[in-house]
Amino acid sequence: VTARTREPFLLDPGIVFLNHGSFGARPRVVLEAQEKLRRELEANPVEFLARRSGALLDGALSRLGAFLRSDPEDLAFITNASAGVAIAAASVRLGRGDEVLGTDHEYGAAERTWRQAAAHSGASYRAVQIPFPWRGKADFLSRMEDAITKDTRVLFASHVTSPTAIRFPVEELVALARSRGLVSVIDGAHAPALVDADLSSIGADYYMGNCHKWMCAPPGAAFIRVDRGRHAEVEPPIAGWGMLAEESGSRDHDSYAGTTPLQRRLRWLGTRDPTPWLAVPAAIDFLEGADWAGARPQRAALARSTVEKAAALLGPALPDLGFDLPMRTLSLPECDPIALKELLFGRFGIEVPVIVFGGRQYLRLSFHLYNDESDASALLEALGECFPGGRPLPDISGERP
């Protein structure tokens, strides 16, 4: 039995929130820390932004680096993982005929970003099919390796996939890329605090991740890690004061636009609110204080048992994944996904994403600190009512009457 730890969060007590995966959710203490920083900023915006922000960001990056096991000098704060994919896609400078290989489990917006970057340079993007249910590491790696051609320049994959909650073996994928002279780009949008990420060991050329999902930091807190040898290759999304300083040698902007090649490309993209990033240490304090590392296996076990109980109600379970995460897909009988999502929220107050993958429907369950067995029971009860005898109610069957 897990302890109910909803109190620190601001979530509406009237809903069952099983969708931490989409936008996260934050505890009060993190927002209070951010609000305190905002007030400091407002006391003297010039002092805070122009004179102090660089040093403050360095401090926050050091803490993040320790959490993710990365040298902070290889990290830069960005607004979200989407921006990170766009930065990587621009920085690899695709040429005519080049090919980027991804998988068919990638986040739609990320795939769109690659397709656009490829189209602008006469390159192409190809999604390698990875069967679901998941067949394991070796199957994944051989499919990726077999897909490499003489035109392949980049291997792109999620650390944890958005539609299917698979943890891809990114360490091995990065090693494969390196052995073939390819650039590795890993989309870690979900990974920080969902898995025990060790970014130095993964060693990707580009790795982007969100702090505003499983780390419970404010929206707008994300990072990119760039391999040391590629800092000067980073294409800044806005070539502003940092690049001016880089080119002219001027020191006028050092306190906020930074001094290293990576800082000068990504730190000062015009006036922005840095408080989501500066509140990242408060989010790490919260996770550590609440012993998320200890609670995470319990939440993963709860996700697994919920999926198993649902299978007893609804049909066969997915085969064993070989790993347990607190985010997990639950296989549904055929149904209308939009109607089901509306019914689950409208009638039962359950916030949970309904996913369509390979023409089949799934729920993606997320169990964070604030979730416990009562949430799982509420979901199972609702599913029992939506699928009596394992068959969808007429209004969610997708069949025209």
Ligand X SMILES: Cc1ncc(COP(=O)(O)O)c(C=O)c1O
The single residue among 19, 53, 103, 162 that binds ligand X, judged by CB under 6 A, is 162
Binding status of residue 82 toward ligand X by CB under 6 A: yes
CB of 185 to ligand X, least distance (A): 11
CB of 374 to ligand X, least distance (A): 26
The backbone torsions φ and ψ at residue 222, rounded to the nearest 5 degrees and listed phi first, read: -150, 175
Complex with ligand X: residue 299 or 364, whichever CB lies closer: 364
Report whether 132 contacts 108 (CB < 8 A): no
The C-alpha angle with vertex 145 and arms to 140 and 146, in degrees rounded to 5, equals 100
Site for ligand X in 121-150 (CB under 6 A): none
Q: How many residues bind ligand X (CB under 6 A)?
A: 12
Site string for ligand X, 84-123 (x = CB under 6 A): -----------------------x--x-------------
Cα–Cα dist 299/291, whole Å = 12
Task: Candidates 38-46, 74-82, 113-121, 292-300: pick the segment binding ligand X (CB under 6 A).
Answer: 74-82
CB of 188 to ligand X, least distance (A): 8
CB of 38 to ligand X, least distance (A): 21
Q: Which tokens go with 319? A: 């085969």
Tokens 């369950």, residue located: 365
Task: Candidates 57-65, 78-86, 92-100, 285-293: pick the segment binding ligand X (CB under 6 A).
Answer: 78-86
Binding status of residue 225 toward ligand X by CB under 6 A: no
Complex with ligand X: residue 114 or 370, whichever CB lies closer: 114
The backbone torsions φ and ψ at residue 281, rounded to the nearest 5 degrees and listed phi first, read: -60, -35
Chain Cα centroid distance, residue 274: 20
CB of 82 to ligand X, least distance (A): 3
The single residue among 81, 128, 195, 234 that binds ligand X, judged by CB under 6 A, is 81
Binding status of residue 190 toward ligand X by CB under 6 A: yes
Provide the angle, in degrees to the nearest 10, between the axes of the packed helices 280-289 and 292-314: 70
Chain Cα centroid distance, residue 257: 26
Contact residues: ligand X, CB under 6 A: 22, 80-82, 107, 110, 158, 162, 187, 189-190, 210
